[in-house]
């Protein structure tokens, strides 16, 4: 049973890590080179797309804004720019149009400008999955240090909450479950002792019966 519990726990931890990695905010230092709008067919309920601008029709086929950028190593980085509204994930993003205008202004800037793009999600080219950008902030350069304070605070609170829940469940189990399981275990041990005693008694009686039978056969038939 222990390996089953450990396997289930590992699966739960793996799923939690994947979800946190996808939905927690991240920041990339990039140069914005332009914006784009594409017509996209979005499946209903797809976890990799959010929703159209607040106040517009929520249709499967819609225009999606994209922000094109370049990383310090020269590789391209593309972000989608969609509202999240009041729905999950709770970024409460309602300004995708304003963010698009900010990105266009930065892209038209003649001077080299490095920015930190805050986003969540993954970029998976095989399935045309893009991270969703929700904030753009100017930084000093490509080597600017970005400390993820929100992630540190969130994960710390999550760890403390998980520990508190685990400890509360453990205390409740020790108080309400363990005494009963210990009693059941003792009763099972007593039952096993009784069965062992009965087994020994039956084996002894069987041995005595076999001895009487052998003596009877030797007496009357001379059988060995």
* pLDDT digit string, tens, across residues 183-197: 777 778 778 878 888
Higher pLDDT, residue 122 or 201? 122
pLDDT of 212 higher than 80: no
Nearest of 33, 113, 145, 126 to residue 78 by alpha carbon: 33
pLDDT digit string, tens, across residues 41-71: 887 777 788 777 766 666 678 889 999 999 9
Q: d(Cα 23, Cα 132) in Å, to the nearest integer?
A: 10
Higher pLDDT, residue 52 or 3? 3
Average predicted confidence (pLDDT) for the chain: 87
Instruction: For residue 136, count other CB atoms closer than 10 A to its CB.
Output: 21
Q: Token pair for residue 40?
A: 């996209």
Instruction: Give the model's pLDDT for residue 37.
Output: 93
Instruction: Give the model's pLDDT for residue 54.
Output: 67
* C-beta of residue 100 within 8 angstroms of C-beta of residue 65: yes
Please give the model's pTM, rounded to 2 decimal places. Answer: 0.74
């Amino acid at each position: 049973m222990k390996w089953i519990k450990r396997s289930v726990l590992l699966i739960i931890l793996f799923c939690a890590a994947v979800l946190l990695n996808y939905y927690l905010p991240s920041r990339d230092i990039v140069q914005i080179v332009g914006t784009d709008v594409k017509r996209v067919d979005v499946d209903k309920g797809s976890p990799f797309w959010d929703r159209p601008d607040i106040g517009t029709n929520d249709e499967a086929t819609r225009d999606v804004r994209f922000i094109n950028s370049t990383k310090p190593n020269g590789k391209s980085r593309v972000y989608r720019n969609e509202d999240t509204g009041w729905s999950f994930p709770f970024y409460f993003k309602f300004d995708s149009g304003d963010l698009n205008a900010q990105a266009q202004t930065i892209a038209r800037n003649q001077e080299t400008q490095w920015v930190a793009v805050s986003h969540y999600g993954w970029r998976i080219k095989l399935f045309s999955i893009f991270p969703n950008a929700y904030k753009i902030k100017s930084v000093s350069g490509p080597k600017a240090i970005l400390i993820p304070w929100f992630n540190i605070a969130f994960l710390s609170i999550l760890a403390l909450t998980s520990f508190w829940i685990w400890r509360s469940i453990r205390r409740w189990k020790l108080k309400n479950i363990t005494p009963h399981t210990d009693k059941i275990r003792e009763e099972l041990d007593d039952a096993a002792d009784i069965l062992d005693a009965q087994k020994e008694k039956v084996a002894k009686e069987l041995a005595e019966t076999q001895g009487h039978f052998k003596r009877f056969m030797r007496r009357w038939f001379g059988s060995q």
